[in-house]
Amino acid sequence: MDRLDNTIRPYAWGSTTAIPRLLGVEPTGEPQAEMWMGAHPGAPSRTERGTLVEVVDADPEKELGPASVAKFGPRLPFLLKILAAGAPLSLQVHPDLEQAKQGYEDEERRGIPVDAPHRNYKDANHKPELICALTEFDGLCGFRDPNEAAGLLDALGVDSLKPYVDLLHARPEDAALREVLTAILTADPEEMSRTVTEAAGSCARLRGAHAPYADIAQHYPGDPGVIAAMLLNHVRLQPGEALFLGAGIPHAYLSGLGVEIMANSDNVLRCGLTPKHVDVPELLRIVRFEAGDPGVLRPEAPPDGEEVYETPIDEFRLSRYVLPEGGAAHDLTRATPQILLCTAGNVRAGEHELAPGRSVFVPAGERAEVSGTGTLFRATVAA
């Protein structure tokens, strides 16, 4: 197996302290938002054999296993991250596989450069995600019940929000959510900015269920995404709890440290809380206007010690081992590629000693025995 040297991405929303604290190093004073572990061409992990992209490209069947290559092609199908949100991320959705293929082909046909700021589809893949909290972790996930959203907006006492309140009460669920989100994103920018400013003041005064939106508004003053965010479920994960974010589900991470795994894609359509491009017609085509419980995942510890976060996705499978002092070693050998990540304590993986934040890549079929005391996350392929 290969010890990984991973890139930390300095996005503006990143915490300045969370990742350094995990790694046991001094903060630089700059945001450190995400540490990427995998073979994404944007920031591939480095090994003694070269980048993980180069390692996989040299012999895909050996590194990934025949089954993975047959199903997903000659590339590592998942990307693992440590994510540290010091400020809210953009409100966003991801397409399903067919939508991604269609969108990518359309933009290619129209000759839109892949790095163009108004490009929606960087590749032809979907981007389902799973986030598992390492600390208390706040986020938004999926639409709340329209009547509940109406009550949240109505309590603000902002006259310009009354039409949205009426729509949420008067129409069927999917139509109500679609019409209100469309109205928010297409409103006159100056008028919406005034509405958001007034609403933010009310949120700060009311606190309680409105508190998260007051905090969001501090980071994104006047942004229509502040109002759009109030249509969504607010979720607070405790360490070890997780959320699965499937295609078309609007979501945003607000604060906290977590382990995130996703299909290897860059496709994001933004709804707000960002200065970046928002393609409203395409966004409305992708969003699933369905209210529901966000579905917090709380895995139970099975007899073999592997806590699996179950999802309907084949490209990735995330599980966790909490290794007690003096416990038996675990044989994690598997016919698919793996990344093993330590997040607490000290874990031995093969010949490698892993402190928190350190990881290794295990080629398909290579013996992988782990021992020690601490917490180890295992990322691999479900199929």
The residues assigned a catalytic role are 270
**Do residues 13 and 33 lie in contact, with contact meaning Cβ atoms separated by under 8 Å?**
yes
**Do residues 382 and 72 lie in contact, with contact meaning Cβ atoms separated by under 8 Å?**
no
User: What is the C-alpha to C-alpha distance for residues 218 and 189, in angstroms, rounded to an integer?
Assistant: 18
**Do residues 366 and 336 lie in contact, with contact meaning Cβ atoms separated by under 8 Å?**
no
Helix axes 173-186, 162-170, angle to 10 degrees: 160
* 379 to 99, 154, 361: CA distances (angstroms): 26, 44, 10
Q: Which residue, 38, 60, 79, 8, is CA-closest to 265?
A: 79
User: What is the C-alpha to C-alpha distance for residues 308 and 314, in angstroms, rounded to an integer?
Assistant: 14
Q: Running DSSP on this structure, what letter comes out for residue 264?
A: S
Residue 310 in tokens: 């179950």
User: What is the C-alpha to C-alpha distance for residues 106 and 120, in angstroms, rounded to an integer?
Assistant: 10
Q: Running DSSP on this structure, what letter comes out for residue 161?
A: G
**Do residues 138 and 211 lie in contact, with contact meaning Cβ atoms separated by under 8 Å?**
no
- Angle at CA of residue 238, ends 234 and 244, nearest 5°: 60
Q: Characterize the bridge pairing of strands 232-237 and 137-143.
A: antiparallel
Residue 294 in tokens: 């966000």
Q: What is the secondary structure of 273-294 as a DSSP string?
A: SSSS---HHHHHHH----B---
Q: Which residues contact 28 (CB under 8 A, 6 or more apart)?
A: 16, 20
User: What is the C-alpha to C-alpha distance for residues 184 and 243, in angstroms, rounded to an integer?
Assistant: 26
**Do residues 1 and 333 lie in contact, with contact meaning Cβ atoms separated by under 8 Å?**
no
Buried b (16+ CB within 10 A) or exposed e, 31-40: bbbbbbbbbb
